[in-house]
RNA sequence: GGUCCUGUGGAGCAGUUGGAGUGCUCGCCGCCCUGUCAAGGCGGAGGUCGCGGGUUCAAGUCCCGUCAGGACCGCCA
C-alpha cells in the first residue's frame, strides 16, 4: 500500500504516530509561512500542515493527487474543528510527493456547489469525488450487500442470465443487437429476466435471485433510464404470502440499516380496487390522507350535463377535497383547469366552500340543485374554506386517476407531505386484464401471471373483473417492486393466451421454449422484482435515479462522458449485418 | 409525438417597460501574508449572452425555427 492510514480515520488517539497518507487536495489555505491543506481520500478529510519545503506546498492546486508523510499532532488549543471527525488532530508534513497534477477544474469539486446535470455527467469522475454523489454510490453498494445477505440466509442462489437473448413479452420496445454470424437476425436485450428465471424454477433451482440489468427502449423520466437494474427473485413451491414475506424482510432490513427507519408492524395490504377507489392510484402515497369520495349515487339525478352524462353511461363521478382550497385566487383555480388539460382531461370541475358561511360557490355550484349542494360538504367530508374538485367519466378508472393525480398535486400545493415519513403498502389483487384500444384484452402484469384461486376457473367469464395473484410494493407513492404467482399449468396458460388473442402458433413462436419446458413437471412458482435504482434513490433521499447510477445517461439517451451513442463506420455496418434481409419473414 | 421550464466568462447566478460589448459570488493567474478550516488582502486574465433567422433606429431582453439539459403527459411496471 502506498499509504499507512486512511485520512478520515485519524483521531486524537493517533497523536504521535507517523503516517503516510495519499489522496487529493480538497482545499488549501496558504498563509505564506504556514499552509493548511485539506487532504481527502475515500475515508474522509484531514488537515495537513506545511511549515517547510514551502515552494512545493505553495505550488499545490485543488485536486492534485498527493502523498504526504507526517506526524499526527493534536491541534493547538483553540484550533480544533468540531465540524470534522478528524478535527482534533492535524498532520505535520515532513515529506510531500505529488503523485499527479490536476488541470484547472471544469466543475468545482465541492459539496456545496451543484453544477448542471450535463456538465456533471460529462465530468462524472470529478462529480463522484464530491461527498453527496460518492455517498449515494456507497449506499447503493450497501443496499445490494444487505439484500444479498437476506437472500443467502434463506438459501437463495445468485444466478446470471443472458443479456443477449430474444425479447420477453413485457410490452416495452426492445433494444436490438445485430448478429454478425446470422445476418438479418437480431438479439434483443432483456427487458427483465422473466422467462429465464421461470426456466430456472423448472430446472429445480428453487430459489433464484439476481441483480439484473434490464433494458427498455422507452422515453425517460426522473425515475427511468433505458438501462436499469432489478433485484430479481423467483421461488418455487410458495404462495403469494411467502413472496410478500421475503420482500418485506428485504425492505425492512434496507430501511433499518440505511435509513435508520424501523418499519412498524406488518406492511399494510390494500387491494388494487381499494387503492383506486380511495387514492385514485395503483401506487398510493400514504403519507397523507386526502382520500377520494365516490359521488355517483349521491349525484344521481343531477341535471349538470357533465356528471349526468357519466352516470348515464354507467360511469363514475367522484371528488377530492383540498383543505383550505377556497383561499385560492381565481387565477390559481383556473390554473387547475390548465393542469387537468395538460394531462388530457377536459377540465377539473370545482366548488369552493366559503370560509365564513360554508356556502358553496363557483361555476359548478350554479349547476347543482339545492339538495345536492346542501349535503355536498358532508358527503365529501369538506369543511368551510375547503375546495372540492370533481371528476366524471364513463370509464371509472379514468376519472379516478385524474382525481388521484389531483390528490398528489393538492398534497404538494397544500404542503401536506411529511418529507421525513416512510409509508409502505402492498397493493394486492391486481386485475388480470385490461382492455386494449381495439377491444381486445391485454395482460396488466404479463401473460404468465396466475389468476387467483377465485378466478382460476372463471376468468374468461368477466375478464374485466378477474383478479390475479399479483402484488406491488409501494413506498411514498413510488412502486419499488412488483411480482406475481406464475401460471404453471399448461391448460391455464392456454386459456390465458386464448383470451389475450394469442394464437397457438404465435405463442409457440414467441415463447415455445417456455411452454415446452412447462410440459416437464414445472413446479408452482412465484417471484418479485425490485426496481433497484428506485429503491436506492429513495434510501439516498435523491429525486432522480441518476443520482444512484455511476454513469447515467441524459434524457435523450446520451452519455455526455463517452458521447455514446455514436455512428458506426461503413465497415462495422457491413459486418454487423444491419442491412441484411431477414432469412424468414418476422411474424 | 405533445406541454412547460432553463441556456449570459471555467462553475453557479443577476440583468427592469427593448436603450452604451453588463454585473455578482466562486474558481483561475500573479504578488503579499505563521493558525486557517468557505482563510484573508492587493492586482490581473477570461464572454460569439446556445445556434440560425426575423421585428426594430436599437435585441441578452420581443417573435419564429433549431440544438442541448431538465419536469410532466403519451409511452413504459
Closest nucleotide to A118's CA, by C1' atom? B69
Nearest residue to nucleotide B35, by CA–C1' distance, is A79
pLDDT tens-digit map of A25-35: 999 999 999 99
- Which residue lies nearest B25, CA-to-C1' measured? A113
**Nearest nt (C1') to A105 (CA)?**
B10
Specify the 3-state DSSP secondary structure of A320.
Answer: strand
Nearest residue (CA) to C1' of B31: A32
For B40, nearest residue by CA–C1' is A31
Q: Provide, rounded to the nearest whole percent, the portion of chain A with pLDDT above 70.
A: 99
Identify nearest nucleotide to residue A272 by CA to C1′ distance. B77
Per-residue pLDDT of A142-201, as tens digits, reads 999 999 999 999 999 999 999 999 977 667 899 999 999 999 899 999 999 999 999 999
pLDDT at position A330 is 81
CA at A135, C1' at B8: how many angstroms apart? 33
Nucleotides of B under 7 A from a protein CB: 1-3, 10-13, 26-29, 32-40, 68-77
Looking at residue A116, what is its pLDDT? 87
Residue A474 neighbours by CB under 8 Å, 6+ apart: A283, A284, A285, A286, A424, A425, A426, A427, A480
CA of A541 to C1' of B68 (A): 27
3-state helix, strand, coil in chain A (%, to 5): 30, 25, 45
- Look at residue A487 in the predicted model and tell me its pLDDT: 96
Max CA separation in chain A (angstroms)? 92
CA–C1' span, A116 to B57, in Å? 39
Among the listed residues A393, A468, A407, A432, the one whose alpha carbon sits nearest the alpha carbon of residue A283 = A407
Of all nucleotides, the one whose C1′ comes closest to residue A484's CA is B77
- The SS3 call for residue A104 is coil
CA→C1' distance for A29 and B41 (Å) = 14
Closest C1' nucleotide to A27's CA: B37
Query: In this predicted structure, what is the pLDDT of residue A170?
Result: 66
Nearest CA-CA partner of A305 in A265, A347, A269: A347
pLDDT score of A333? 85
Distance A70 CA to B62 C1' (A): 63
Specify the pLDDT at position A332. Answer: 82
Nucleotide nearest to A444 (CA to C1'): B77
Residue nearest to nucleotide B32 (CA to C1'): A32
For chain A, list residues with pLDDT below 70.
169-170, 582-587
Q: Which is nearest to A379 in space by CA: A306, A325, A317? A: A317
Q: CA(A33)–C1'(B45) in Å?
A: 27
Q: How far is the CA of A346 from the C1' of B64 (A)?
A: 30
Range list of H helices, A343-484: 370-374, 376-380, 396-413
Output the pLDDT for position A129.
Answer: 95
Task: Name the nucleotide with the smallest C1'–CA separation from A546.
Answer: B70
Using the C1' atom of nucleotide B6, identify the protein residue whose alpha carbon is closest. Answer: A116
Query: Residue A427's closest CA among A447, A413, A445, A403?
Result: A445
Cα A545 versus chain centre, distance: 7
In A380-509, the DSSP E strands lie at 387-393, 424-428, 433-435, 441-443, 470-475, 478-485
For residue A169, what pLDDT is reported?
65
Q: Measure A342 CA to B3 C1' (Å).
A: 6
Nearest nucleotide by C1' position to the A552 CA atom: B69
Nucleotide nearest to A75 (CA to C1'): B35
Angle at A515 between CA A512 and CA A519, to 5 degrees: 135
Tell me the CA–C1' distance in angstroms for A112 and B60.
28
CA of A176 to C1' of B67 (A): 27
A115 CA to B6 C1' in angstroms comes to 13
- Give the C-alpha separation, A21 to A40, whole Å: 9
Give the DSSP letter of residue A467.
Answer: B
**Residues A370-386: tens digit of each pLDDT:** 889 999 999 999 999 99
In Å, what is the separation between the CA of A21 and the C1' of B37? 19
How does pLDDT run across A490-513, given as a tens digit for each residue? 899 999 999 998 899 988 888 889
Amino acid at each position: 500500500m502506498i499509504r499507512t492510514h486512511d485520512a478520515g480515520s485519524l483521531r486524537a488517539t493517533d497523536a504521535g504516530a507517523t503516517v503516510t497518507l495519499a489522496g487529493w487536495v480538497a482545499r488549501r489555505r496558504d498563509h505564506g509561512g504556514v499552509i493548511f491543506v485539506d487532504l481527502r481520500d475515500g475515508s474522509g478529510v484531514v488537515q495537513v500542515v506545511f511549515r517547510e519545503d514551502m515552494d512545493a506546498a505553495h505550488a499545490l492546486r485543488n485536486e492534485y493527487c498527493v502523498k504526504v508523510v507526517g506526524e499526527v499532532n493534536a491541534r493547538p488549543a483553540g484550533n480544533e474543528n468540531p465540524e470534522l471527525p478528524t478535527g482534533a488532530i492535524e498532520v505535520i508534513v515532513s515529506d510531500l510527493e505529488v503523485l499527479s497534477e490536476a488541470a484547472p477544474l471544469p466543475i468545482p469539486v465541492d459539496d456545496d456547489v451543484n453544477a448542471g446535470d450535463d456538465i456533471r455527467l460529462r465530468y462524472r469522475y470529478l462529480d463522484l469525488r464530491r461527498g453527496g454523489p460518492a455517498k449515494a454510490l456507497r449506499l447503493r453498494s450497501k443496499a445490494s450487500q444487505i439484500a444479498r445477505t437476506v437472500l443467502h440466509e434463506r438459501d437463495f442462489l445468485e444466478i446470471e442470465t443472458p443479456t443477449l437473448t430474444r425479447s420477453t413479452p413485457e410490452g416495452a420496445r426492445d433494444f436490438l443487437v445485430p448478429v454478425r454470424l446470422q445476418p438479418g437476425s437480431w438479439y434483443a436485450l432483456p427487458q427483465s429476466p422473466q422467462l429465464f428465471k421461470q426456466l430456472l424454477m423448472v430446472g429445480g433451482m428453487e430459489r433464484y435471485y439476481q441483480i439484473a440489468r434490464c433494458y427498455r427502449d422507452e422515453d425517460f423520466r426522473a425515475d427511468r433510464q433505458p438501462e436499469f437494474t432489478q433485484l430479481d427473485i423467483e421461488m418455487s413451491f410458495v404462495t403469494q404470502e411467502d413472496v410478500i414475506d421475503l420482500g418485506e424482510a428485504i425492505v425492512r432490513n434496507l430501511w433499518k440499516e440505511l435509513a435508520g427507519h424501523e418499519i412498524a408492524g406488518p406492511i399494510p395490504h390494500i387491494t388494487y380496487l381499494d387503492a383506486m377507489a380511495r387514492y385514485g392510484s395503483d401506487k398510493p402515497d400514504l403519507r397523507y390522507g386526502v382520500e377520494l369520495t365516490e359521488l355517483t349515487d349521491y349525484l344521481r339525478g343531477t341535471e349538470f350535463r357533465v356528471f349526468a352524462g357519466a352516470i348515464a353511461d354507467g360511469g363514475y363521478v367522484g371528488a377530492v377535497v383540498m383543505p383550505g382550497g377556497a383561499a385560492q385566487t381565481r387565477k390559481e383555480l383556473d390554473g387547475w383547469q390548465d393542469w387537468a388539460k395538460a394531462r388530457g382531461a377536459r377540465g377539473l370541475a370545482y366548488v369552493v366552500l366559503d370560509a365564513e358561511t360554508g356556502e358553496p360557490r363557483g361555476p359548478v355550484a350554479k349547476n347543482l340543485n339545492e339538495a345536492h349542494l346542501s349535503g355536498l360538504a358532508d358527503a365529501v367530508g369538506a369543511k368551510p374554506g375547503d375546495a372540492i374538485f370533481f371528476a366524471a367519466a364513463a370509464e371509472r378508472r379514468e376519472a379516478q386517476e385524474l382525481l388521484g393525480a389531483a390528490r398528489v398535486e393538492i398534497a404538494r400545493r397544500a404542503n401536506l407531505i411529511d418529507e421525513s415519513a416512510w409509508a409502505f403498502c402492498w397493493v394486492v389483487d391486481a386485475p388480470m386484464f385490461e382492455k386494449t384500444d381495439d377491444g381486445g384484452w391485454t395482460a396488466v402484469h404479463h401473460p404468465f401471471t396466475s389468476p387467483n384461486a377465485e378466478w382460476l376457473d372463471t376468468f374468461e367469464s368477466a375478464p374485466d373483473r378477474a383478479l390475479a395473484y399479483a402484488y406491488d410494493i409501494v413506498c411514498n407513492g413510488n412502486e419499488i417492486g412488483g411480482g406475481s404467482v406464475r401460471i404453471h399449468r399448461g391448460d391455464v396458460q392456454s386459456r390465458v393466451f386464448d383470451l389475450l388473442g394469442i394464437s397457438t402458433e404465435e405463442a409457440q413462436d414467441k415463447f415455445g421454449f417456455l411452454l415446452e419446458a412447462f410440459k416437464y413437471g414445472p413446479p408452482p412458482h412465484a417471484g418479485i422484482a425490485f426496481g433497484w435504482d428506485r429503491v436506492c434513490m429513495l434510501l439516498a433521499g435523491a429525486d432522480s435515479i441518476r443520482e444512484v447510477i455511476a454513469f447515467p445517461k441524459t434524457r435523450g439517451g446520451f452519455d455526455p462522458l463517452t458521447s455514446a451513442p455514436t455512428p458506426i463506420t461503413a465497415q462495422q455496418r457491413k459486418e454487423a449485418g444491419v442491412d441484411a434481409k431477414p432469412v424468414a419473414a418476422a411474424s
